[in-house]
Amino acid sequence: MATAFPVDENPGSDVPRCEIRAEVPVPIEAGGRTLTARMVTFSGLVDGREHLALVFGEELAPVPLVRLHSECLTGDVFGSGRCDCGPQLREATDRLADGGVLLYLRQEGRGIGLYNKLDAYVLQDQGLDTFEANRRLSFADDERDYRAAAQMLRALGVDGIRLLTNNPDKAAQLTASGIEVHDSVSTGVFLGAGNRRYIEAKVLHAGHRIALTEVAPA
């Protein structure tokens, strides 16, 4: 299929190549405007999942701003305040509106899936934090694997990025998969009535770059 993106001539990584399957222009609300983003799908992703890229702007910068957003149906779609995913997704599209890439990764529940995440919520309501609840369900703290994200970026002709995240594991895994992370740009901290413990747990268990003073009770 014809593509507007450059072909990656120099993969430089042992992560298998994948190809662009389709590109579709889609109107998106971002930065207070309605923009046309290109939605891009892929063939040959290493985990076989239906991940999606949203590309903003006509031409990508040599080192574009990129957000890896992990699917959160409860927060992204239904506006749940148990986490900060919905506000982070809207922040990301606003910041990318003038150019950049959002990878919408089908990694619901940090990779354990929606039903298991809801089981984890039951345990959290009994006092466990998000990571402890994962372990009680016999999962690792975080089951996400970003090799498919690296494949997607390379298929888009991107091998160096500025990464919008507070999570050091995203940068480490992309680097291991051959993507050069020039800079990690912090996302906002979206503290709400129901997500203080969730955000604190990310700092304590996963080393997220958020000052605990930003989430301390007033």
Ligand X SMILES: Nc1nc2c(ncn2[C@@H]2O[C@H](COP(=O)(O)OP(=O)(O)OP(=O)(O)O)[C@@H](O)[C@H]2O)c(=O)[nH]1
33 catalytic per annotation: no
Phi then psi dihedrals of residue 97, to 5 deg: -55, -35
Contacts of residue 168, defined as CB under 8 A and 6 or more positions apart, other chains included, come to 184, 206, 207, 208, 209
Tell me if 51 contacts ligand X by CB under 6 A: no
Tell me if 120 contacts ligand X by CB under 6 A: yes
Tell me if 173 contacts ligand X by CB under 6 A: no
Structure tokens at 191: 């503290």
Tell me if 85 contacts Zn ion by CB under 5 A: yes
Out of 20, 40, 71, 159, the residue judged to bind ligand X by CB under 6 A: 71
Considering beta carbons, is residue 81 or 99 the nearer one to ligand X? 81
- Per the residue annotation, which of 144, 147, 154, 159 is the catalytic one? 144
Structure tokens at 126: 């009994």
Tell me if 128 contacts ligand X by CB under 6 A: no
Out of 88, 151, 173, 177, the residue judged to bind ligand X by CB under 6 A: 88
Burial class of residue 50, CB neighbours in 10 A (0-12, 13-18, 19+): exposed
Annotated ligand binding at 109? The verdict is yes
Q: How many residues does the chain have?
A: 218
Q: Which residues of the shown chain bind ligand X in the complex (CB under 6 A)?
A: 70-72, 83, 85, 88, 107-110, 112, 117, 120, 130, 134, 165-167, 170, 187, 202, 208
Q: Which residues of the shown chain bind Zn ion in the complex (CB under 5 A)?
A: 72, 75, 83, 85
Residues that constitute the known binding site for Zn(2+): 72, 83, 85
Cite the active site residues: 142, 144
